């Protein structure tokens, strides 16, 4: 018993002695600038100084921007963490054959553009199984308005908003850029905010869906159950050419006065959306003296790695910078 009491007494003395030697430091609401740098050291450590940059990004998942046809439509938002001030915004439309989109598919690739200083907002729109054309176009325009409405939250420079899409998303991006002043292809929600974009980037998007099966392809592009047929509401494309014409961005070029410049990038061996689709658009843009650039990626397939390479991203960024407004 005496031994136990003695041991407890010795422990209490040790704790009291330690507290006197190393008093605890109460927490304080330090700012980063005020916080003292540690003086602790080790004979084995190496000190490295690395400059901060904007390579760290923040991901904001599933941000709801509207509810339509019973669906909560969301945005996947990526923004540079340490970039200062307002940032240009890219609204991105994921390819999906106009069906339900995997909005997470290209987040790793698009994070690269966030690291370059852009806010990225990946759009979810109503799939063609729920709503046919122009639902995806209307939803994307609403998403652009939402990003302007929430500009302060996501540090968006409202004077520098761009639209970019791949495959069916490229088609939607083209339609957004070419129908800025078309009320029939718009909605009234968030109507106080403009849908204007500085430029359009189209990766291998369809244009004239009535001509897609005139070139080699691994898909049917005509039947009612084809992606293009579903876009029209489950109708045969060639039997409904008037409906198909409404989806053709080429038909809006003449009315798109001072429309957003367009960057076209398409692979020469695209098995899903024939390369000729971009040729048709480029020829029409050229005929109408419309501002555009057109690149063929030699040997590239539909969505193949060439599109997500640093060299291709450099082409895209150089194009965007041409039409970035200096504030």
Where are the domains positioned within the chain?
Answer: 57-322
CB half-sphere exposure, 9, CA atoms < 13 A:
6
Q: In the numeric block, which tokens belong to residue 128?
A: 């063609």
Q: Which fold has domain 57-322?
A: Rossmann fold (3.40.50)
Q: b/e map of 215-247 (b: 16 or more CB within 10 Å)?
A: eeeebebbbeebbbbbbbeebbbeebeebbeeb
Which residues, at least 6 apart from 26, have a Cβ–Cβ distance to it below 8 Å? none
Give the pLDDT of the chain (327 residues) as one tens digit per residue: 555 555 555 555 555 554 556 689 999 999 989 999 999 999 999 999 877 665 899 999 999 999 999 999 999 999 999 878 999 999 999 999 999 999 999 999 999 999 999 999 999 999 999 999 999 999 999 999 999 999 999 999 999 999 999 999 999 999 999 999 888 899 988 889 999 999 999 999 999 999 999 999 999 999 999 999 999 999 999 999 999 999 999 999 999 877 899 999 999 999 999 999 999 999 999 999 999 999 999 999 999 999 999 999 999 999 999 999 997
For residue 287, what is the enclosing H or E element?
helix 276-287
Structure-derived torsion over alpha carbons of residues 268, 253, 177, 298, reported in degrees to the nearest 10: 10
Q: pTM of the predicted model, to two decimals?
A: 0.88
Q: What is the pLDDT of residues 225-254, one digit of tens each?
A: 999 999 999 999 999 999 999 999 999 999
Report DSSP state, residue 326: P
């Amino acid at each position: 018993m005496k031994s136990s009491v003695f041991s407890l007494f010795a422990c209490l003395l040790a704790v009291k002695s330690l507290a006197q030697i190393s008093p605890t430091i109460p927490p304080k609401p330090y700012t980063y600038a005020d916080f003292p740098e540690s003086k602790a050291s080790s004979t084995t450590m190496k000190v490295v100084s690395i400059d901060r940059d904007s390579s760290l990004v923040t991901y904001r998942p599933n941000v709801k921007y509207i509810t339509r046809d019973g669906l909560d439509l969301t945005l996947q938002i990526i923004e540079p963490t340490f970039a200062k001030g307002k940032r240009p915004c890219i609204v991105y439309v994921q390819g999906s054959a106009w069906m339900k989109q995997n909005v997470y598919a290209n987040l790793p690739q698009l994070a690269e553009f966030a690291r370059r200083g852009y806010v990225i907002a990946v759009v979810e729109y109503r799939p063609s199984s729920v709503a046919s054309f122009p639902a995806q176009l209307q939803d994307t325009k609403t998403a652009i308005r939402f990003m302007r409405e929430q500009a302060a939250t996501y540090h968006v420079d409202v004077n520098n908003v761009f639209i970019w899409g791949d495959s069916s998303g490229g088609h939607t991006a083209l339609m957004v850029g070419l129908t800025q002043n078309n009320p029939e292809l718009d909605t009234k929600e968030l109507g106080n905010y403009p849908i204007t974009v500085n430029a359009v980037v189209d990766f291998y998007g369809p244009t004239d869906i009535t001509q897609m099966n005139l070139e080699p392809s691994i898909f049917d592009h005509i039947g009612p159950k084809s992606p293009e047929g579903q876009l029209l509401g489950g109708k045969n494309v060639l039997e409904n050419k008037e409906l198909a014409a409404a989806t053709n961005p080429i038909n809006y070029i003449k009315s798109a006065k001072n429309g957003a410049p367009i960057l076209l990038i398409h692979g020469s061996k695209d098995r899903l959306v024939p390369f000729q689709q971009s040729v048709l658009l480029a020829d029409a843009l050229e005929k109408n003296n419309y501002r555009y650039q057109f690149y063929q990626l030699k040997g590239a397939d539909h969505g193949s790695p060439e599109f997500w390479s640093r060299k291709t991203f450099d082409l895209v960024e150089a194009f965007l910078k041409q039409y970035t407004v200096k504030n």
